[in-house]
């Protein structure tokens, strides 16, 4: 019975390791794709939209999923501390990017409303 449990633990560790790597790889691909698209928009002098920030946010979410998955196979307090620190850092980055997106949207809406008020004032 101990051999069966040991074998299942090894299988679980491999599945978790492969899953975590796959999730982090997806995050990297999403981030590289978002960066390349942002760079192409910059080269064409197109208006900078929220696509880059949204790509980074999505990539960080995939990477955090990979880190959370790794907690399944953590064996000691040092593993939990390291994983917790990584998750906190990635969460802080995701929070900052999300805050930037909301702040940018608020400023754009504020500028749009100010422009409408100017146009209404000119028409009078």
Q: How big is the chain by its Cα radius of gyration, in Å?
A: 22
Residue 42 structure tokens: 């910059």
Question: pLDDT digit string (tens) for 26-69?
Answer: 999 999 999 999 888 888 887 766 788 888 889 988 998 998 88
For the entire predicted model, the pTM comes to 0.71
**Cα–Cα dist 73/80, whole Å:** 10
Query: What CA–CA distance (Å, rounded) separates 55 from 38?
Result: 10
């Amino acid at each position: 019975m101990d051999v069966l449990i040991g074998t299942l633990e090894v299988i679980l560790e491999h599945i978790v390791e492969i899953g975590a790597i796959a999730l982090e790889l997806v995050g990297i691909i999403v981030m590289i794709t978002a960066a390349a698209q942002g760079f192409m928009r910059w080269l064409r002098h197109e208006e900078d939209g929220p696509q880059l920030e949204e790509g980074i946010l999505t990539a960080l979410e995939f990477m955090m999923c990979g880190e959370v998955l790794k907690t399944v196979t953590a064996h000691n307090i040092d593993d939990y501390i390291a994983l917790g620190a990584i998750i906190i850092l990635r969460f802080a980055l995701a929070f900052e990017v999300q805050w930037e997106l909301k702040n940018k949207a608020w400023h754009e809406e504020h500028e749009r409303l100010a422009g409408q008020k100017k146009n209404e004032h000119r028409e009078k």
